[in-house]
Amino acid sequence: MSGSLARSPRSSILLVLAAGAALSAQTTPTDPLVRENATVKVSDHVYVIPDANVPLVPNVGFIVGSRATLVVDTGMGLRNGQTVARQLAKVSTHDELYVVSTHFHPEHALGEAAFPPTAKIVRARTQQQDIDEFGLSLAETFASRSAVNKQLLDGARYRKADIVFDGEHIIDLGGVRVRLMALGPTHTRGDTVAWVETDRVLFTGDIVMNGTFVAFASPYSSVRAWLAALDRLTPLDPARIVPSHGEMGDASLIAKDKAYLSAVQNRTRALKAGGKSADECIAIVTGEMQTQFPGWTNLPRVGAAVRSAFAEAGPP
């Protein structure tokens, strides 16, 4: 077993994510702050605060029904959560409020404290398992990388979930149904998507991205599981996809990510059957994916996808 495969789940997730954070810090020193007065309406009941492609800032979502509102992702730490809460007040005055995170990473879940105690935190059981296993270790890593990060994450804690679900959970906001689906292990073990049925808007977390190689950021990440998740999302045929980060798009994003991961899976299987090692597969497939998907960002992420596909391919 190679050294990378022998690492504990906790150390593996920190190495993968800390490396990505370090690269972002070197190339884009913008502070990870959710923007004020930037909310856009994307459908009859859905609003988004776009991330403006700033690292460690999510695309924040507001889904507003006639009776209640659901917030999707809250930003990194209390200050960002307060910004999200202020922007929410401009599009909804409902007292009944639900908050969900697409996954447990700090920039998605650690703004929860800004919302009133009456706000119901909804969490997939697998996401709770990620929190229980990894805790605030990633937040501590992020906090060590800049003074701004440290300030944003000072005292940050995960709130206790009010609703924990397995598989799927429906929230009726009053004339607007939102279907939450736990689809990991993909980017993390507890990735959660939100499907706004009435508006055909899909919040995909990091499962479906736009023009970037998806991140296998967990020791539990699986090419097989990721492709199965994409198969479940395909029949929804969303009019609008809101990924965790980056530009919004349409249903074609699902097909593109499926084509990429299928190519990784098939090519890695063939190379392994031909006697190539995992490292050799990574070098070959990374080069091929760069050619097949020109213009896509975060090319180094291909390596983790190949390693997953290699492990799942079985003996040569």
Q: What pLDDT sits at residue 316?
A: 72
Q: Is residue 206 domain-resident? A: yes
Q: Is residue 81 domain-resident? A: yes
Q: What pLDDT sits at residue 160?
A: 97
244-270 pLDDT, tens digit each: 999 999 999 999 999 999 999 999 999
Q: What pLDDT sits at residue 240?
A: 98
Q: Is residue 277 domain-resident? A: no
Q: Is residue 297 domain-resident? A: no
What's the 3-state SS for the chain?
A: CCHHHHCCHHHHHHHHHHHHHHHHHHHCCCCCCCCCCCCEECCCCEEEECCCCCCCCCCEEEEECCCEEEEECCCCHHHHHHHHHHHHHCCCCCCEEEEECCCCCHHHHCCHHHCCCCCEEEEEHHHHHHHHHHCCHHHHHHHCCCHHHHHHHCCCCCCCCCEEECCEEEEECCCCEEEEEECCCCCCCCCEEEEECCCCEEEEECCCCCCECCCCCCCCCCHHHHHHHHHHHHHHCCCEEEECCCCCECCHHHHHHHHHHHHHHHHHHHHHHCCCCHHHHHHHHHHHHHHHCCCCECHHHHHHHHHHHHHHCCCC
Number of domains in the chain: 1
Q: What pLDDT sits at residue 29?
A: 60
Q: Is residue 306 domain-resident? A: no
Q: What pLDDT sits at residue 224?
A: 98
Q: Is residue 257 domain-resident? A: no
Whole-model pTM: value is: 0.91
Q: What pLDDT sits at residue 4?
A: 34
Q: Is residue 44 domain-resident? A: yes
Q: What pLDDT sits at residue 137?
A: 96
225-243 pLDDT, tens digit each: 999 999 999 999 999 999 9
Q: What pLDDT sits at residue 10?
A: 52
Q: What is the CATH number of the domain that holds 51?
A: 3.60.15.10
Q: What pLDDT sits at residue 315?
A: 83
Domain residues for the domain of 152 are: 3-226+233-251
Give every residue of the chain whose pLDDT is below 70, as ranges.
Answer: 1-29
Q: What pLDDT sits at residue 26?
A: 43
Q: What pLDDT sits at residue 21?
A: 45
